[in-house]
Amino acid sequence: MYNMYPGTYMASQQATLAASSASNEAFEAQQAEHDLRIRVEHLAVVCRAMWSFIESSQGVTLKDLEARMLEVEKQHPDHQGVVTCPNCHRPTGLRTGVCIYCGAPVGDGDPFTDHAVPGA
């Protein structure tokens, strides 16, 4: 049978190929996200284990750890200041956009709503 619209077939094939490629890319992105989540969960376990060891063997308190976390945050080359988290009310850095303690979003970039911690 003669195809009156030869360009239509070619466009259809290209669209099918593009859709297949996009589907493969989406699957690969989901796999990468899954792998990253597993790595983060593993690192969280390692951090909890190290903290448990340090806390019990060195007598370091959670307040000491929080103070050190802020020191480390301030030393980062991209440090953008410290604010009080609106959720847990702890001081946290602005660099990541989320509280380092509870994960709540912080710092919308508005200097009138970001509450800088004195002396930070």
| Extents of the domains making up the chain | 1-60, 61-120
Is 83 strand, coil or helix?
strand
Quick check: 115 pLDDT over 60? no
| pLDDT, position 120 | 45
Residues 67 and 100: beta-carbon distance below 8 Å: no
Distance CA 99, CA 65 (A): 15
Q: For 31-84, what is each residue's pLDDT tens digit?
A: 999 999 999 999 989 989 999 999 999 999 888 888 888 888 788 777 778 888
Whole-model pTM over 0.85: no
Structure tokens at 55: 């806390």
Distance of CA 104 to the CA centre of its chain: 11
Q: How far apart are CA 110 and CA 120, in angstroms?
A: 18
- Count Cβ atoms below 10 Å from residue 117 Cβ, excluding itself: 13
What type of residue is 29? Answer: A
Rg (CA), the chain: 25
**Residue 54: what are its φ and ψ, rounded to 5°?**
-65, -45
Task: From residue 25, give the alpha-carbon distance in Å to each of 12, 17, 32, 101.
Answer: 20, 12, 10, 33
Beta-strand runs (E) in 1-113: 82-84, 91-93
